[in-house]
Amino acid sequence: MTYLSTDNVENHFHDVVIIGSGGAGMRCALQLADAGHRVAIVTKVLPTRSHTVAAQGGINASLGNVLSDHWHWHMYDTVKGSDYLGDQDAIEYMCRAAPRIVRELEHQGVTFSRLENGTIYQRAFGGQSREFGEGGQALRTCAAADRTGHAILHTLYQQNLRAGTHFYQEFFALDLITDQDGCHGVMAWDIANGTYHLFQAKAVILATGGAGRVFKTTTNAHICTGDGGALVLDAGLPVEDMEFFQFHPTGIADIGPLITEGVRGEGGYLLNAEGERFMERYAPTAKDLASRDVVSRAIALEIRAGRGCGPNKDYVLLKLDHLGEELIMKRLPNIHELALRFAGVDCTKEPIPVQPTMHYTMGGIPTNYHTEVVYTDGDDTEKVCGGLYAIGEAACVSVHGANRLGGNSLLEIVVFGHACGERVNAFLKQRRYHPPLDKDCWKKAVARVEKWFHSTDREDGPRVSDVRKRMQTIMQDHFSVYRTEDVMREGVEQIEAVAKELKQARMDDACRLFNTELVEALELENLMGLARVTAAGALARTESRGAHARDDYPDRDDQLWQKHTLAKIGESGVELDYKPVRTQPMTVASFPPKKRVY
Ligand SMILES: Cc1cc2nc3c(=O)[nH]c(=O)nc-3n(C[C@H](O)[C@H](O)[C@H](O)COP(=O)(O)OP(=O)(O)OC[C@H]3O[C@@H](n4cnc5c(N)ncnc54)[C@H](O)[C@@H]3O)c2cc1C
């Protein structure tokens, strides 16, 4: 079958098209559908299978239900947690909005756990303090047992069904339709029946989630392949701060499923092979509840020093049996099940083997706090790409900077999902009609897919799955918790080589119906671009900051490096540029950089 005319491409007209049905996409869709717009969500899986459903521990808001709290302390913790790379205007916006947006979720139907007095249950999470770090540990993370993401995603899905949002599920977004006036739509492919679809929209919102599958061992679902960032790179726009990937301290050893920070929030702690609570040495005050970059590095150092557990001495133990079976089954039932299933451990009786595992993508599509996609054109003035927005883990707004605090991501997706809805609602008053499109605008996307069908005629060339494994192993071996010049330089060369290999790769399955090999090929193309910019950005950054820890440059260098990386892919390879961090909040005084101690 060849596609020669638009007769073979089905046309759809919507006011707004949102790519992604995670918490970010669905919160935004709800806002716009309730405002009366014709909203479409295009998603490559069934809506409630988005990765948000896997979120466990909770969502931060300074409700002060257990101990007194204030959004300004939340803001301080987030700026400090970001290792001073977060944009302080966006952080202020998020922390101020948090209590209102979380209560709104409660009213929409999220089944939060409750305190005795009926208010939302809140637990301790890493990097949380009171009175700007002076007043001890805050209890800021609102939880629905250890299934908070599940509760939020299902509630938002139901609300969207009520509001009349149109769902195009198992549709894969292939290409953004852009011109000098910005973005006007997206081309997508129907995975189930192999047909092509052109979605014309006055505004397009990217809510495609993280890119965890760049690495071999990750807590992320197989669908977390950074497709939104790749679409933006392909449109000639930059991505931001991609060298910052968070390693969560407690993935189940060897395989990666997440054991929530909520376990330590409830009183669990880490032990090395000598039975020592080693976090007391690394973070005397916060101990096991220091921020994630600090705890992951401590575990890596313990393992390096030969104090890891097991036959290969490559993991540590997370002890929680002392919390008692009743509390575990009430507050952490999912953890009990995960540990049993994946590690064969009954955590009410024995500790869980854990090691740092790739968890969260701090970088992404650059936006301002109104969620508009921004770029610079050689000079220092930031420009907005009209009609294009990005939210959630796919975006880099940047509230997490170099290191995200636990519980701040579920918050980010709903706060900026809401903010985006408001902004687009105003924008639609100016852009009232669908502009005419170039008659060939669909061709690039079709060619992208058809070339894979042509590859099935070839007998030579590597298989897609082999190329993916190689890429993930290179990233894991060369860009993990600790990084050095030589190892990264070698990693950059190997990634560039494997990217070339992908151009020669072939697919075996020529079927047009539900061709999962083709989905994987498209996802690998997306991952590859992001791996290339991650590698180049990491090698260039000669300092240690947040999740980017270098043996050869152990200190943070604010003079040179308190700036965001912008990366594009041009004809001759990855092109790096930088832009300043927004250190000025909206209304309060700036938090200047200081040494981070926990
Ligand atoms: C195991 C785990 C536990 C976590 N626990 C917590 C927690 O307790 N607290 C917290 O704050 N954060 C937590 N996080 C992080 C948080 O869950 C995520 O950052 C957040 O849910 C991301 O939401 P999102 O809406 O941006 O994207 P996602 O929920 O990942 O959704 C992405 C959507 O994009 C769609 N999509 C992607 N590419 C395409 C394409 N090409 N075409 C069409 N559709 C596409 C997908 O189908 C999906 O619907 C956790 C993450 C993990 C992995």
Whether 461 and 558 share a structural domain: yes
Given pLDDT bands bounded at 50, 70 and 90, which one contains residue 2? Answer: very low
Whether 450 and 571 share a structural domain: yes
Burial pattern 204-230, b for ≥16 Cβ within 10 A else e, equals bbbbbbbbbbbbbbbbbbebbbbbbbb
Number of domains in the chain: 2
pLDDT of 239 higher than 90: yes
Residue 463 tokens read as: 């298989």
Q: Tell me whether residue 150 is in a domain.
A: no
Domain boundary among 301, 330, 357: 357
| Residues in contact with 203: Cβ distance below 8 Å, sequence separation at least 6, in sequence order | 15, 16, 17, 183, 387, 388, 389, 424, 427, 428, 431
Q: Tell me whether residue 321 is in a domain.
A: yes
Q: Tell me whether residue 137 is in a domain.
A: no
pLDDT of 298 higher than 70: yes
Given pLDDT bands bounded at 50, 70 and 90, which one contains residue 7? Answer: low
Task: Please write the tens of the pLDDT for every residue from 46-63.
Answer: 999 999 999 999 999 999
Atom of ligand 1 nearest to the CA of 410: 11
pLDDT computed for residue 8 by the predictor:
83
Q: Are 361 and 46 in contact (CB under 8 A)?
A: no
End-to-end CA distance of the chain: 61
Find the domain containing 535 and state its range: 443-580
pLDDT of 3 higher than 50: no
Residue 276 tokens read as: 């020592």
**Residue 152, ligand 1, Cβ within 6 A:** no
For residue 552, give the CATH number of its domain: 1.20.58.100
Percent of the chain with pLDDT over 90: 94
The DSSP line for 140-162 is: -EE-STT-HHHHHHHHHHHHHHH
| Cα 391 to Cα 385: distance, rounded to the nearest angstrom | 14
- Which whole number is the average pLDDT over 13-22? 98
Alpha helix stretches (DSSP H) within 348-484:
408-430, 443-455, 464-478
**Residue 57, ligand 1, Cβ within 6 A:** yes
pLDDT computed for residue 362 by the predictor:
98
Q: Which amino acid is at 135?
A: G
Chain centroid offset of residue 469 CA? 21
Q: Tell me whether residue 95 is in a domain.
A: no
| Cα 125 to Cα 331: distance, rounded to the nearest angstrom | 14
Domain boundary among 357, 379, 408: 357
Helix/strand/coil for 201: strand
- Which whole number is the average pLDDT over 462-487? 95
pLDDT computed for residue 380 by the predictor:
73
Mutate which of 19, 46, 208, 357 for ligand 1 pocket (most atoms within 8 A of beta carbon): 208
The DSSP line for 245-269 is: EEEEEEEETTT--B--THHHHTT-E
pLDDT computed for residue 459 by the predictor:
85
Q: Tell me whether residue 453 is in a domain.
A: yes
Burial pattern 462-501, b for ≥16 Cβ within 10 A else e, equals eebeebbebbbebbbebbbbbbeeebbeebbebbbebbeb
- Which whole number is the average pLDDT over 451-459? 92
Q: Are 186 and 204 in contact (CB under 8 A)?
A: yes
Q: What single DSSP character describes residue 367? A: B
Q: Tell me whether residue 337 is in a domain.
A: yes
Given pLDDT bands bounded at 50, 70 and 90, which one contains residue 65? Answer: very high
Domain boundary among 357, 377, 410: 357
pLDDT computed for residue 553 by the predictor:
97
Going by CA atoms, what residue is nearest to atom 44 of ligand 1?
A: 43
For residue 279, give the CATH number of its domain: 3.90.700.10
Whether 256 and 353 share a structural domain: yes
Catalytic positions are: 292
Q: Tell me whether residue 172 is in a domain.
A: no
